[in-house]
Structure 1
């Protein structure tokens, strides 16, 4: 990651103490691989799970928490979502997120970083990329980071962000003439878009084919075997569409817990946390 961008990230991201934080996993592969990379390089453990309808906890270690691939309004997060519904909205100051630290909002939505949380973590901590071509394809397929490159209107923006992240190996792969069908192939082959869930016994499960991807990464690809107990639910988890011609502020939502723009004029949010 270039120095000018890295310097905008919150100070906690530079903490050198191994195992200082616990991680909160969310319900997709971007979050899972991000957590596993953080465990590999920082020694953090997954002890929480958030599926956007409830919060779960496995072990009460007393360590401070990092939410991974979730746009929490408060607290430390690694994230990639846009949370400013208007340019005047405030962002979570503890959000490690290029869209947050560079002021991306609904107003300049089409200049956003449209890539994974995972690639930001790899870039920020200068973690070596997988050696294999297949491993690199998988990284670009997660959260469909590759898509912007294949859209004429967004290719330059996509390239610019990968350059700022200094992920030149991935950019070279895209420039090599690879067909976008390769990315859809790995999505299907490894079931990359399958969700992660807590089953009725409190155990995390998924149909992502982690075992088939194991050989492309230098650390174990697996879900925690711990039992996760539901600790909190929410009064509301909703999707909302804004009037194209009207301003809207997220600060008008009472008890906001997490929020993310899903399109220029649409967002999802969770509010009203309550203990179980």
Structure 2
């Protein structure tokens, strides 16, 4: 029986595919990625990658943002009632529980990982020794490919530029041809090939790295989000209006989110710390990410 595609044309280019299929290369992810529905609550973090990925997941599965993680606390949206099994962390390197993530979460190859995390760097066993072979794309890009959210060949240049700027995906195209970056360039080419994102090759051939840096700066893509103390609502310096104008089919609204309580962590390092020999040397981890080859960031329970 032939699969029927219900394609909803978008006013700014591209279309959203309204049928339920995910890419075959995601079959190594935990089974829950195929079982999401509107009863799930998402944990939003403080940057554009998480915001964009949440918007994609909400569009696909009709679920909602129920929490906000700012690395010091988790804030719960007022009125939310759920269980751990129904929560998905988005762009978060949590040590347990469901998550969509793109961080490197191992220091050495034998470190334990979260078995419920949908993370290509777990699938490909990325750690300190092969750090530059990591998946260098964003969580948002991974989610959009997984669930076939766009026909990338029909997206406008602005739409492609936004996707390329999220988590600096474009950087993979401009790594210097030196010994340290041979693995990174090869991993980037593999990502383009496996995800069938050849449309970006033409864009990167026409642009320079500075073009993406300027685009992100001009259009306010580098900002963050935080909870205001006075009214427990989110504030941001990300230019959400611009993102909305380019992806009007997605919901980026956060101003309605009202938080009524939070759970604070005992410790969180905003600056990268030198990594020990193993992640097991760090007690009571809630999140962990190897953000440089020899450095990490973490939140301690």
**Fold conserved between structures, TM > 0.5:** yes
Contact 1:24 1:46 in 2 (8 A): yes
Residue of structure 2 equivalent to 1:232: 263
Residue 60 (structure 1) aligned with residue 80 (structure 2): yes
**Which one of the candidate residues 138, 145, 166 is aligned to 2:169?**
145
Residue of structure 2 equivalent to 1:13: 33
CA distance in 2, matches of 1:180, 1:121: 24
Contact 2:141 2:163 in 1 (8 A): yes
CA displacement, residues 174-224 of structure 1 (integer Å, 9 cap, x when unaligned): 2x4222222112211121111110001110110111112222112233214
SS at match of 2:206: coil
SS at match of 2:226: strand
Normalised TM-score (structure 2):
0.84
Residue 97 (structure 1) aligned with residue 119 (structure 2): yes
Contact 1:10 1:95 in 2 (8 A): yes
Residue of structure 1 equivalent to 2:217: 188
Return 5+ residue gaps in structure 1 as ranges: none
Contact 2:37 2:61 in 1 (8 A): yes
1:97-116 mapped onto 2 (5 Å cutoff): 97-116=119-138
SS at match of 2:89: strand
CA displacement, residues 99-136 of structure 1 (integer Å, 9 cap, x when unaligned): 01211111210111112110100111111147211011
SS at match of 1:106: coil
1:60 offset after TM fit, Å? 2.0
Of 216-225 and 74-83, more deviation after overlay is shown by 216-225
Return 5+ residue gaps in structure 2 as ranges: 1-21
Residue of structure 1 equivalent to 2:140: 118
Residue 197 (structure 1) aligned with residue 230 (structure 2): no
Instruction: Give runs of ≥4 in structure 1 deviating > 4 Å.
Output: none
Contact 1:190 1:210 in 2 (8 A): no
Contact 1:159 1:171 in 2 (8 A): no
1:2 offset after TM fit, Å? 5.6
**Which one of the candidate residues 237, 240, 249 is aligned to 2:278?**
249
**Which one of the candidate residues 194, 198, 206 is aligned to 1:177?**
206
1:155 offset after TM fit, Å? 2.7
SS at match of 1:219: coil
CA distance in 1, matches of 2:30, 2:255: 28
CA distance in 1, matches of 2:250, 2:139: 18
* Cα distance change, pair 24–224 in 1 and its aligned pair in 2 (3 A): farther
**Which one of the candidate residues 231, 234, 239 is aligned to 1:209?**
239
Contact 2:137 2:167 in 1 (8 A): yes
CA distance in 2, matches of 1:168, 1:127: 16
Contact 1:66 1:75 in 2 (8 A): yes
Residue of structure 1 equivalent to 2:8: none
Normalised TM-score (structure 1):
0.91
Contact 1:137 1:182 in 2 (8 A): no
Residue 75 (structure 1) aligned with residue 105 (structure 2): no
Taking only aligned residues, the RMSD between alpha carbons, in angstroms, comes to: 1.7
Of 89-98 and 221-230, more deviation after overlay is shown by 221-230
Contact 1:237 1:270 in 2 (8 A): yes
